[in-house]
Amino acid sequence: MTYFLLVGGLVIGFALLVKGADFFVDGAASLARKLGISAAIVGLTIVAMGTSAPEAAVSITAGVQAKFFGVAGASDMAVGNILGSNLFNLLFILGICMMIKPIPTSIGSLKRDFPWAICTTILFIPMIMDGKLTVLEGTILLSLFIGYIGWMVYQSIKNRVKAEDETKLMPLSKSIPLLILGLAMIIIGGQFVVNCATGIAENLGMDSTLIGLTICAIGTSLPELVTSVVAARKGESELAVGNVIGSNIFNLLFILGTTVIISPISVNADMMIDTIILLIATAAMMLFSFTGRRCNRVEGAITFAAYLGYTAYIICRAYEII
């Protein structure tokens, strides 16, 4: 009976995610055009932070549980959720979007967004070499996030986009409530999926690191998945890419930084390998973007296959098959 309830919760969660993402993309894209802000900037900030809300809830809660309640494996869950979500965002989500429709990349993405994502990942490597993340390191991460958001605000003011014909745009009285409603549905749906999926995984005896890298990572990244796929299908490619790259930066800098400031956490040695894989994947995606200034379907298939290979690797690692 418990399994039927958990599966039912998954179905409800997926339904909320799908419809919520549809509302969210329409509201965010309309708001961006109305205010003269590029879709890429909106994707990198508002949409990225909104769809990363489930990751924030899971990782920060796990950090608090590890520090104050001594929950075994909670710290592994916190870091694993962030790294797993970032890899899922980059390889699985963008891979799917690229296979649906080739994604053109802007000069801004190549000069600003990908370098930020690569640099934050490089910075993270020496931080976890000693097997722990301290309050100082969390403060550094959070400070970089504040600087990143400040830069995005400056860019949006400096490079305002001329608004389209007002008659073709959704009024603010409709786009803002639609955006808020979509975000609420995304967050609630994400929590349904994460809680039910984690319950199933724990009943099957999966360890905390593997749950963080797979079930929680995929579950908390479902908002990014649905939002980016919907955006790609609607022709909002900048919003799709901006959402993924922005979410990855937000996850590492804000969510992990906040988690560590609240509660310094230990880091499993295997996480170093996952971080290096994330760095290679980000650099590869940037390289794909340079080729013809677009990510095509073949590159999408390669990216998607890479995620399947990574998933097989961490499952084998968890059960000591390799």
Angstrom distance (rounded) from CA 308 to CA 96: 12
CATH T-level topology, domain 39-160+205-318: A middle domain of Talin 1 (1.20.1420)
Question: Can you tell me the distance from the alpha carbon of 47 to that of 149, in angstroms, rounded to the nearest whole number?
Answer: 13
Please report the pLDDT score of residue 28 as a whole number.
Answer: 77
How much is the average pLDDT of 281-291?
86
pLDDT at 36 over 60: yes
HSE, CB side, 13 Å, CA atoms: give it for residue 46: 22
Instruction: Spell out the domain ranges in the chain.
Output: 39-160+205-318
Give the end-to-end CA distance of the chain in Å, rounded to a whole number. 36
CA atoms lying within 13 Å on the CB side of residue 268? 24
User: Any idea what DSSP says for residue 40?
Assistant: H
- Provide the pLDDT for residue 160: 63
What confidence score (pLDDT) does residue 307 get?
A: 96
Return the pLDDT at 11: 81
Average pLDDT over residues 280-308: 87
Judge whether residue 157 has pLDDT over 80.
Answer: no
Distance CA 232, CA 97 (A): 6
pLDDT band at residue 55, thresholds of 50, 70 and 90?
Answer: confident
For every residue of 78-99, DSSP letters joined together read HHHHHHHHHHIIIIIIHHHHHH
The SS3 call for residue 295 is strand
CB atoms closer than 10 angstroms to residue 14: 15
Maximum CA extent, the chain = 61
Judge whether residue 301 has pLDDT over 80: yes
Q: Is there a contact between 40 and 239 (Cβ–Cβ < 8 Å)?
A: yes
How far is 210 from 274, CA to CA, in rounded Å?
A: 12
Q: What is the pTM of this model?
A: 0.79
Return the pLDDT at 292.
63
Average model confidence (pLDDT) across the chain: 80
By 3-state DSSP, what share of the chain in percent is helix, strand and coil, each rounded to 5?
Answer: 85, 0, 15
Length of the chain: 322
- Phi first, then psi: give them for residue 246, nearest 5 degrees: -65, -40
CA dist., res. 300 & res. 279, Å (int):
18
DSSP state at residue 265: E
